[in-house]
Structure 1
Amino acid sequence: MKRIFTLIFIPALLLIGCQSEDAGAGEGEKIEAVATIAQIADIVENVGGEHVEVKNLMGPGTDPHLYKPVSSDIDAMEEADIIFYNGHHLEGQMNEIFGKMNEEKPTYAVAETVPEDLLASDPENPEVYDPHIWFDIELWKYAVDSVTEGLIEADPDNEEEYQNNAIAYKEELDELHTYAKDSISEIPEESRVLVTAHDAFQYFGEAYGLEVLGLQGLSTESEYGVNDIERITETLTERNVKAVFVESSVSEKSINAVTEGAAEKGHEVEIGGELFSDAMGPEDTEEGTYIGMFRHNIDTIVEALN
């Protein structure tokens, strides 16, 4: 009897184990998604709604250019049903990981769905595209479409709901786009100069009519020197710009060098506030949502430059 029990019971346990491992997001189960940055996680939450559980790898104050994944990140990606990342080398330390993950499961580079003729290039490296597409809402809609497509592919039974959620979310983005244009137009034209630590706001400036100057290049891995500081302080003095801005994910050291350089030229420049560039605000705050983050940046810029 003992032998018969062993022959029947143990294979049954093994079969159950295999079935649980093979089962993906079945009926009534949520899709397990991973997003590298909070901006993308926000899309997944809005489009996926109650059908998706999303884990964001990079929290507030995190610089994705320099971020190195830890073992828990690898575990989260291995356990996920689907992965969304920005691409165009924003997550520069993770490119090899994404390639390997794409061999195992759907892995989407949402920024790489934007047509190349709409992308901006790095002035120093024309073959490198600017990855910060979330600062032009019209471009960010391509990311929304990419996430929607990915979720439908993973869970076709809820296609209609994903499509409806995406439409509703893009309507909110359209309202935000109008708010941004109207608000920036309130700044005197000669004062529409946005100075930040690194060049994350190129798309933002193009979309909303600001001249953008970054001390560092597209990536915070770029170095800056005396000539960069001199270039920016000259513009600040000539244009009588009143404020420059720090970024939540970048050290204030570089911007402090600019304010000191301007002071040496007899032009006082204040820190106009903190902008969210590569990272959003804390969870459970307005700035922890894409729309809240974007509104915060607009309001901070307008108040400081007016």
Structure 2
Amino acid sequence: MESNTIISWNRAGKLSCCLLAAVAVLVSGCVPQDAQDDLVASPRLEYPYQVGTTVAMLTDVVRKVAGEKAQVKGIIGEGIDPHLYKPTSSDVKLLQASDIIFYSGLNLEGKMGDVLVRMATSGKPVIAVTETLLNDGSYVMTDEADHYDPHVWMDVGGWIQATQVIGESLARFDPDQAELYRKNTQSYTAELERLHAYGKRAFATIPESQRVLVTAHDAFNYMGRAYGLQVRGIQGISTESEAGLKDINDLVDFLVDHQIPAVFVESSVSQKNVRALIEGARAKGHDVQIGGELFSDAMGETGTYEGTYIGMLDHNITTIVRALGGEAPRQGLNGQLTSH
């Protein structure tokens, strides 16, 4: 690979396979520090330069850090499940036209692996924002089959570290504007720290026996660990997994036994299994409500507060806390929620 290729190979064998030169290789969900050190400044850089991103949560943060120096274009938008998303020819063209590419990693964009490899081996910087978290060794969560849990953005503390990777990567890529990127990173991080504190404060108001989050799939484990919630998902970490009848029946019994007042649907996942839970609990004499719709793998509508990363998490935190008996302002931390 070229010296400025920011993608790594064969990381613990846990991520999606793709073919390159007729040889199966493993695409890492993260970038090792020694690879990031190889990132070099782009020659003949013209403003605004082009940045390609995968998921919207990432696109929003890169825009905040890059400011007017870059035109940031994302591939996977509102209401779209990144676990199942397959890149189109227009997506490939977007990435080819990008000067630098950011992706989330940890196998979130599993079906885009071969495209990301192709971009990286062409000499283009391709950066996984979760690299420092994976290098930490203790942060990244896995399921029973040892698959990475990619939903890091559900813990604002984790997404702060991803934001810092973005800032440092842009500073190295465009050293003439390094001070600006670091200033933007610092300013945005302060907003994220305020949101993180809100989450800790608000979740602590939920009665301890009701601090149980039941959702369509396991996208909220980082949130649970960060803010003291027990998390139960009907499906696994990826929406490609299927929930069996026993999984649903076991969760129904759990809801009834613990008198959990609410379960939650997700904007990018079918409501079918959640509604089966509600009907099953009702048949056993326990009335469970839908506590609201959460944003898991996609943000809200473009142009709205919920269509930003901060708005997405503010919505989720506020919705969960209020539905489970805690105390949170109806319009959220910043008084901008439109769906409450």
Q: By the TM > 0.5 criterion, same fold?
A: yes
Report deviation, 1:290: 0.6
Instruction: Give, in whole Å, the separation in 2 of the partners of 1:251 and 1:176.
Output: 28
CA contact under 8 A between 1:24 and 1:81: conserved in structure 2? no
Number of equivalences = 281
Please name the residue that 2:23 is paired with.
none
User: Which of 78, 86, 93 is 1:68 aligned to?
Assistant: 86
User: Is residue 140 of structure 1 aligned with residue 159 of structure 2?
Assistant: yes
Q: Look up the match of 1:59.
A: 77
- Residue in structure 2 matching 1:84, options 102, 111, 126: 102
Report runs of 4+ in structure 1 exceeding 4 Å deviation. none
8 A Cα contact 1:84 1:109, kept in partner: yes
CA shift in 2, pair 1:23/1:117, >3 Å: closer
Whether the aligned pair in 2 keeps the contact of 1:86 and 1:112 (CA below 8 Å) is no
User: CA offset at residue 25 of structure 1?
Assistant: 2.8
Match of 2:212 in 1: 193
SS of alignment partner, residue 94 of structure 1: helix
Letter in 2 for 1:119: V
Deviations 1:174-211 (A, max 9, x none): 10011011111111110111000000000000000111
- Shift in CA distance, 103/232, structure 1 to aligned 2, threshold 3 Å: same
Which range is displaced more, 58-67 or 104-113? Answer: 104-113
Q: Give the TM-score of the pair, scaled to structure 1.
A: 0.89
1:1-306 mapped onto 2 (5 Å cutoff): 24-26=44-46, 29-104=47-122, 105-114=124-133, 115-122=136-143, 124-126=144-146, 128-306=147-325
- After TM superposition, the structure 1 stretch with the greater mean CA deviation from structure 2, 224-233 or 148-157, is 148-157
- Within 1, Cα distance between the matches of 2:249 and 2:131? 35
Q: Which has the larger radius of gyration?
A: 1
Match of 1:11 in 2: none
For the residue of structure 1 that corresponds to 2:213, the secondary structure is strand
Q: Aligned partner of 1:154: which letter? A: F
Identity among equivalent pairs (%): 50
How many Å separate the matches in 1 of 2:222 and 2:165?
19
Q: Structure 2: where are the runs of 5+ without partners? A: 1-41, 326-340
Deviations 1:26-83 (A, max 9, x none): 2xx1121111011111111111111111111011100000001111100000000011
Q: Deviations over 1:74-101 (max 9, x none)?
A: 0000000011111111111111111111
Q: TM-score, normalised by structure 2?
A: 0.81
State the Cα distance separating 1:116 from its structure 2 match.
2.4
Residue equivalent to 2:31: none
Query: Is the Cα–Cα contact under 8 Å of residues 244 and 270 in structure 1 kept in the other structure?
Result: yes
Q: Distance in 1 between matches of 2:101 and 2:230?
A: 35
Residues 106 and 150 of structure 1 are in contact (CA less than 8 Å); yes or no, is this contact kept in structure 2?
no
State the alpha-carbon separation in 2 of the partners of residues 92 and 265 from structure 1.
39
Bigger shift: residues 57-66 or 108-117:
108-117
Say what the alpha-carbon RMSD is for the aligned residues. Answer: 1.2
Cα deviation, residue 280, structure 1: 0.3
3-state SS in 2 of match to 1:158: helix
C-alpha separation between the residues in 2 aligned to 1:116 and 1:87?
15
Question: In the alignment, which residue of structure 2 is the partner of 1:19?
Answer: none
Structure 1 gaps of 5+ residues are 1-21
